[in-house]
Structure formats: structure tokens, C-alpha cells
Amino acid sequence: MISFKNVNKSYQVGDQEVQALSQANFTLEKGKLTIILGPSGSGESTLLNILGGMDRPTSGEINFEGDQIGQLTDRGLTSYRRQKVGFVFQFYNLIPSLTALENVAIAAQLNGNADQSAAYLEQVGLSHRLNNFPNQLSGGEMQRVSIARALAKQPQLLLCDEPTGALDSKTSLKIMALLQQAAQNPDTAVVMVTHNPTFEQYGDQVIRLKDGLIERIDANPTPVKLEGLA
């Protein structure tokens, strides 16, 4: 579905050039959950931003089903983010003045399926919270809304940036179960960035990062399934 070939990203900080990502090579497949694992500052956010079209590589090739993402115009990248990518953030990024249903509907209307907004919330177990505002929801419920919002775009690439970082362990497992569930869609690749090595057992593939380098990539033919928790 999407591949990185010799992808590099560097930043200029004063007089110094910082190499955030070096010679990254990997492939993501639809219907799979990929865990990107590494300590803070290892390049995981840079990698996710490039995957999501929010940043450009300094060099290298990024192929998304035949399209070279790194060569798209600004308008092309906007279209890519809008049509192909769903984002789930650590701190939810919900609009506080809108209900859960309205937060999801904003994303759903991009694909013309705003009338399905309630169904996406039902999918993440929040059919009883449609008309609640974010400040009336728990952290886990807000993260579920953010997942429903991302899924409402019907993305081919679902990117999750530390989605369990602000949650307790029990709620974190429920969120992981939802991401595994989302990865069962044969049209969607799910990618989760985490600093927590205990989550690697739940992914189909684990990409290990350190100091901007991919140390190794492990395939996991038998990921632990969290069925029944979602």
C-alpha cells in the first residue's frame, strides 16, 4: 500500500543540521496494524508526520499506491490528508463547543456520509453519548470519539500518535482493541506510534526506531488479540 525508500528528514537548528530520520525503508499493508516503537526523540513523530502528509522528506521516495507523496504540491498534500488519512492524537483534539456526534459529523461530511456519524460512535461503544460535550466525557470516551471521527473519513491510512499515552492501563487496552478492530478492514492500514514496549505484542508489524534510524522491523504472525474489550 505505502512504502518508504531511503527516506531522510533533516532540520536546520541555528547553525546545526539535525538528522531526524535517516535512510528509512519499510512497507505498510492494508488490513494490518503496525506499531512504531521508540523512545521520545527517536524520530517517530517525524515519520508519522511524513506518512500523514504534514511534512515533506528531505530526500527519498514515498509511494502510496503509485503516487509519489513527497513530490505532491501543497494542494496535492492537502487532498491526500483529506481523502486518504485519518488522525488520532494523544490529547484527542476535539472541538469543545460541539457534541460527540457533531465532532464526528465534521469529519464524516468530508466523504458525504454525515448521516452515518451516529453509527461510527456506536461502533466505538458510545451510542449513549451522542449529545454529550467533550467536558462531559472521560479521557477514554474522548479518545473513542476521536477514533470514531477518524474512521468516519473512511481513511486508507489511520495514523495514531500515542493514543493511549494519557489513559490508564485498562482503558488503553480498550483503545488497542479498537485499533485492532479497525485494522481488520482490508482497505485500511493502521499505524500506531508508542513509547510503551508492552504494546508491540498487539501489532502485526513492529518498526523499532532509535536516533532517527530503523533498528529493525519485526513481523508478528500471531499478535495477541484483544477481542471483546472494544
Q: What is the pLDDT of residue 71?
A: 87
Q: What is the pLDDT of residue 230?
A: 62
pTM of the model: 0.91
Closest among 142, 138, 150 to 192, alpha carbons compared:
150
Alpha carbons 15 and 92: distance in angstroms, whole number? 36
Q: Cell digits for 157?
A: 491510512
Query: What are the chain's domains?
Result: 28-57+73-219 (3.40.50.300)
pLDDT digits (tens, 9 = 90+) for 30-68: 999 999 999 888 999 899 999 999 999 999 999 998 889
Q: What is the pLDDT of residue 106?
A: 92
In this structure, are residues 81 and 53 in contact, taking their beta carbons and an 8 Å threshold?
A: yes
Q: What is the pLDDT of residue 91?
A: 86
Q: Cell digits for 170?
A: 485498562
Q: Which residues of the chain have pLDDT under 50?
A: none
The burial class, CB within 10 Å (0-12 / 13-18 / 19+), for 58 is middle
Alpha carbons 181 and 160: distance in angstroms, whole number? 14
In this structure, are residues 51 and 26 in contact, taking their beta carbons and an 8 Å threshold?
A: no
- Crossing angle of helices 169-183 and 139-152, in 10° steps, is 10
Q: What is the pLDDT of residue 221?
A: 94
Q: Cell digits for 165?
A: 499515552
Q: What is the pLDDT of residue 165?
A: 87
Measured in degrees and rounded to the nearest 5, phi and psi for residue 199 equal: -85, -10
Point out which residues pair with 213 in neighbouring strands.
210
